[in-house]
Amino acid sequence: MARVLDKNNAHFRRALARLPLGVSSNFRYWGEGKTLYVKRGAGARIWDLDENEYVDYRLGYGPVILGHCHPEVDAAAREGQKVGTVFALSTEREASVAELISAMVPAAELVRFSNSGTEAVMAALRLARGVTGRDGYVILEGSYHGLFDAVMWQADVENLRDARHDPEVLPFGKGVPELVRQLFWHVRYNDANQLEDVLRLHADRIAAVLIEPILGSCCGIPATPEFFRAVRELTTRYGVLMIADEVKTGFRVARGGAQELHGVSADICTMAKAMANGYPIAAIGGREDLMRHYGQGRVTHGGTYTAGGMALAAAERTLTLLRDSDALARVADYGRRMQEGMQRILAKRGIPHSFAGHPSMGGLFFRESPPRNYRDWKLSDYTFYDTLAQQLIENGVVCEPDSREPWFVCAAHDESCLAKTLTAFEAGVDHTLKELAAADRAAV
Ligand code: PMP
């Protein structure tokens, strides 16, 4: 039976009158009759305004690592609230959370806080520029580093004509100054040769190479261990700083993030999402000699709301729970078992597929081997994914409608979530096969 979305749709019309697209982020708009409004979340589930229940694999794009409304984290946040909101002065807990982070992420010898991933990456890039005295930087194709002009650029893979030409690099949207394009080099992901070519020629103008260890907004494509190590070696060799943007991978793929998995420490790293189970806080961590450049008259960092009492207390509890429990192992185990279940369903029907990333934030592809870069994604059959995603949402499993966003797992996903997910997945695959076959027949 089709979902009823009457209340969602009525609310959409109301919201549209006062909010552009009826939402507070472009990415939350799924179109008329499809845009969902959440009534509440609990554990790994959410309910929309019509009380339709969903198993949630978006988790706010990753932050909700322990599950929605986690009682211990929320209790800690309420305690934090009692300290006060903001003072334009520091509080004791900042040092405690910085100590926790440093102990989990060795690259974060010193720590500064921000409110969001965007702010943290901005602060990291500013630090790299301030230390090196250079304005240029390298971003890798398929990366997402937040919404600020320096990084709102992407390769136009959609219109890629053939593999021999590089796609055009375009801003995410209007309002990003064209001038910014002169400041960065755009290098293919997992292509150390191209990176070396750029550094060999231009290192004297480049402050940093920004790398997402797993392309968290591009199918969960991971850096190969060789590439991640090459970024470390090449940046060191050419005197450029390495910024690991672990906003999504930090405190998720391992306690020490992807840097722990690769056994590599960046010069500067950014962490945000899984740090406070959804409360707004982010961290910039880095080598002491670099981080000490933050200071009056040197590199500026701050913000009225940085290290607010509530978010800081939530971070302290979340990080402590992640450090002291097996939550991350359970998250990865669930992700693995979910992928195995999907694999069985797809293999039975002879549908080519593969998974990328990490089981806690995995991408699903309809192609035999997973993509190594953004261009490869273009070659996978994402029509199948897009159709299937709509079916899953219809059947109470909410994944991102766009195949470029990985499936996020949290510690609250349990056996009943898995059973519901795989049942919906099997029905969704069969429905998709029928729908696409009918579309093919109609096209003939
Ligand atoms: N960097 C990465 C790797 C991200 O995934 C994101 C958000 N998806 C950001 C930065 C920006 O974070 P925020 O949305 O909190 O500003």
The single residue of 48, 56, 245, 267 carrying the catalytic annotation is 245
- Catalytic residue flag (residue 273): yes
Q: Is the CB of 272 within 6 Å of ligand 1?
A: yes
Q: Whose CA is nearest to atom 13 of ligand 1?
A: 117
Q: Is the CB of 212 within 6 Å of ligand 1?
A: yes
The minimum-distance atom of ligand 1 relative to the CA of 272 is 15
pLDDT in tens, the chain (444 residues): 689 999 999 999 999 999 999 999 999 999 999 999 999 999 999 999 999 999 999 999 999 999 999 999 999 999 999 999 999 999 999 999 999 999 999 999 999 999 999 999 999 999 999 999 999 999 999 999 999 999 999 998 888 777 677 889 999 999 999 999 999 999 999 999 999 999 999 999 999 999 999 999 998 999 999 999 999 999 999 999 999 999 999 999 999 999 999 999 999 999 999 999 999 999 999 999 999 999 977 999 999 999 999 999 999 999 999 999 999 999 999 999 999 999 999 999 999 999 999 999 999 999 898 888 888 887 777 889 999 999 999 999 999 898 888 999 999 999 999 999 999 999 999 999 999 889 888 887
Give the residue, out of 153, 221, 247, with the most ligand 1 atoms within 8 A of its beta carbon, to mutate for a pocket test. 247
The single residue of 61, 144, 238, 385 carrying the catalytic annotation is 144
The 3-state secondary structure of the chain, one letter per residue:
CCCCCHHHHHHHHHHHCCCHHHCCCHHHCCCCCCCCCEEEEEECEEEECCCCEEEECCCCCCCCCCCECCHHHHHHHHHHHHHCCCCCCCCCHHHHHHHHHHHHCCCCCEEEEECCHHHHHHHHHHHHHHHHCCCEEEEECCCCCCCCHHHCEEECHHHCCCCCCCCCEEECCCCCCHHHHHHEEEECCCCHHHHHHHHHHHHHHEEEEEECCEECCCCCEECCHHHHHHHHHHHHHCCCEEEEEECCCECCCECCHHHHHHCCCCCEEEECHHHCCCCCCEEEEECHHHHCCECCCCECCCCCCCCCHHHHHHHHHHHHHHHHCCHHHHHHHHHHHHHHHHHHHHHHCCCCCEEEEECCEEEEECCCCCCCCHHHHHHCCHHHHHHHHHHHHHCCEECCCCCCCCEECCCCCCHHHHHHHHHHHHHHHHHHHHHHHHHHHHHC
Predicted structure pTM score:
0.97
Q: Whose CA is nearest to atom 1 of ligand 1?
A: 145
Distances (CA, A) of 406 to 51, 283, 321, 402: 25, 23, 24, 9
Q: Is the CB of 121 within 6 Å of ligand 1?
A: yes
The minimum-distance atom of ligand 1 relative to the CA of 216 is 5
- Catalytic residue flag (residue 374): no
Q: Is the CB of 117 within 6 Å of ligand 1?
A: yes
- pLDDT of amino acid 7: 98
* CA 2 to centroid of ligand 1, rounded, Å: 34
* CA 288 to centroid of ligand 1, rounded, Å: 24
* CA 91 to centroid of ligand 1, rounded, Å: 26
Give the residue, out of 151, 243, 248, with the most ligand 1 atoms within 8 A of its beta carbon, to mutate for a pocket test. 248
- pLDDT of amino acid 293: 97
The minimum-distance atom of ligand 1 relative to the CA of 217 is 5
Q: Is the CB of 116 within 6 Å of ligand 1?
A: yes
The minimum-distance atom of ligand 1 relative to the CA of 246 is 3
- Catalytic residue flag (residue 37): no
Q: Is the CB of 252 within 6 Å of ligand 1?
A: no
Within 8 A by CB and 6+ apart from 270, the residues are: 117, 120, 121, 123, 124, 243, 244, 245, 246, 247, 250, 282, 283, 284, 285
* CA 247 to centroid of ligand 1, rounded, Å: 6
The minimum-distance atom of ligand 1 relative to the CA of 249 is 3
* 148-197 pLDDT per residue, tens: 999 999 998 888 777 677 889 999 999 999 999 999 999 999 999 999 99
* CA 248 to centroid of ligand 1, rounded, Å: 7
CB of 276 within 8 A of CB of 320?
no
The minimum-distance atom of ligand 1 relative to the CA of 212 is 3
